[in-house]
Amino acid sequence: MDLSTAIERLRGSGERITLQRTSILRALIDAQRPVTAQEVLQRLRADGCHASLDTVYRNLSLLASTGLVNQLQLQSRASSQFEFQGDNHHHHAVCLDCGRTFCVPHCPLPRRFAAPAEDPGFHIVSHALELYGHCSGCASKNR
């Protein structure tokens, strides 16, 4: 999915299209990897777009709620990373030593989930899955 398609999807969901949102989407698409909110802010400033870190977080959160952006929690908000996913729903493996993230090329979970037994009417709208371990580089250093 390209930037113009992402903007049309955002517009279709009823959200305003602002310069900052467009710039954040462009920064995520150009990064082609998960990045932190601080890295997004640095990219925005390098492009001459003025925004605060709070504005970046607010917009990343909104973009994640639309499904255009995936948020990797990585143990804390400070270490959260964000990645443009468009229509490419996938998950990540995270190295516990160096923090690098790797895309898991497909979602290993079924498309439809059963509702929790405690609330059979619960409607699931999304999910997140992160796998933690040691990348090959860190594993070989620790041997």
- In which domain, by residue range, is 132 found? 89-143
Mean of the per-residue pLDDT values for the chain?
86
Share of the chain above pLDDT 90, in %: 44
Structural domain count, the chain: 2
Q: What was the pLDDT predicted at 77?
A: 47
Q: Give the 3-state secondary structure of the chain.
A: CCHHHHHHHHHHCCCCCCHHHHHHHHHHHHHCCCEEHHHHHHHHHHCCCCCCHHHHHHHHHHHHHCCCEEEECCCCHHHCEEEECCCCCCEEEEECCCCCEEEECCCCCCCCCCCCCCCCCCCCCCCCCEEEECCHHHHHHCC
Give the CATH number of the domain where residue 9 resides: 1.10.10.10
How does residue 38 score in pLDDT terms, banded at 50, 70 and 90? very high
Query: Does pTM top 0.75 for this prediction?
Result: no
In this predicted model, which residue has the larger pLDDT, 99 or 6? 6
Q: Are residues 56 and 95 in the same domain?
A: no
Q: Are residues 74 and 129 in the same domain?
A: no
